[in-house]
Amino acid sequence: MIIRSAEFVTSAVKPAQYPPAALPEIAFAGRSNVGKSSLINTLVNRKRLVKTSGTPGRTQLINFFTVNGQYTFVDLPGYGYAKVPMAVRKNWGPMIETYLTARDALAGVVLIMDIRRVARSEEMDFMAWLQHYGIERILVLTKADKLSKSEQRKQRGANAAALGVSPDRLILFSARTRKGRDQVWNAVLDAAARKEAER
């Protein structure tokens, strides 16, 4: 995918602050520190369009970006990080749920997981919830560079079993090596095209 432009649009916490929903939109979700910002930056070939951080869980805003004037990318706040203050954590669910259910332009959600972990109830609940709302799911195991090829295969199998999907549904990715970048882009383009066709 050739990137001609990638621009920050705005941050929002509630629908009145969302930008106009003119373009097919892809949202990125995952636990704090999983590598979500790094994945988005890799997709758009930028070092720091989206800030990566050593202090996870701070950003509790929904951030909107326009890519090539054709797609909107949405960086959702990370979930499940213990250090996020309780008051912030309590707002996370409603804010994200409102966004995911209210946004007509939403073409799909990229769910990003650390390949070294095995999906647990948080990821499974989120998967089931997305399916319930008929929201397309693009599943990514990131930080693949941290494991050997055989460990990657093992973790892919374990995650596929936990999530109840076929292993080939899980895209192995690395922001460090850019492995899987084309595959994620293809999944994004497919989801966007399907959304365009139905709108």
Ligand X SMILES: Nc1nc2c(ncn2[C@@H]2O[C@H](COP(=O)(O)OP(=O)(O)O)[C@@H](O)[C@H]2O)c(=O)[nH]1
Could you say which of 1, 9, 58, 145 contacts ligand X (CB under 6 A)?
A: 145
Single out the residue of 152, 150, 160 nearest to residue 179, CA to CA: 152
79/96 Cα distance (integer angstroms):
10
Establish if 142 lies at the interface with ligand X (CB under 6 A): yes
| Contact status, residue 4 vs residue 68, Cβ threshold 8 Å | yes
Q: State which residue, 32 or 159, has the beta carbon closest to Mg ion.
A: 32
Q: Name the minimum Å distance from CB 37 to ligand X.
A: 3
Amino acid at the residue 168: D
Single out the residue of 190, 173, 166 nearest to residue 35, CA to CA: 173
Single out the residue of 185, 29, 182, 18 nearest to residue 105, CA to CA: 18
3-class secondary structure, 42: helix
| Contact status, residue 111 vs residue 139, Cβ threshold 8 Å | yes
Could you say which of 23, 26, 29, 30 contacts ligand X (CB under 6 A)?
A: 30
Where is 75: in which H helix or E strand? Answer: strand 71-75
Q: State which residue, 31 or 36, has the beta carbon closest to Mg ion.
A: 36
135/127 Cα distance (integer angstroms):
9
Establish if 183 lies at the interface with ligand X (CB under 6 A): no
63 binds, among Mg ion, ligand X, none (CB under 5 to 8 A by kind): none
Establish if 80 lies at the interface with ligand X (CB under 6 A): no
Establish if 63 lies at the interface with ligand X (CB under 6 A): no
Could you say which of 52, 66, 68, 91 contacts ligand X (CB under 6 A)?
A: 52
Establish if 77 lies at the interface with ligand X (CB under 6 A): no
153/125 Cα distance (integer angstroms):
24
Could you say which of 24, 35, 77, 108 contacts ligand X (CB under 6 A)?
A: 35
Q: Contact region for ligand X (CB under 6 A) — 17-25, 126-134, 137-145, 163-171?
A: 137-145
Q: State which residue, 76 or 100, has the beta carbon closest to ligand X.
A: 76
Establish if 56 lies at the interface with ligand X (CB under 6 A): yes
Establish if 36 lies at the interface with ligand X (CB under 6 A): yes
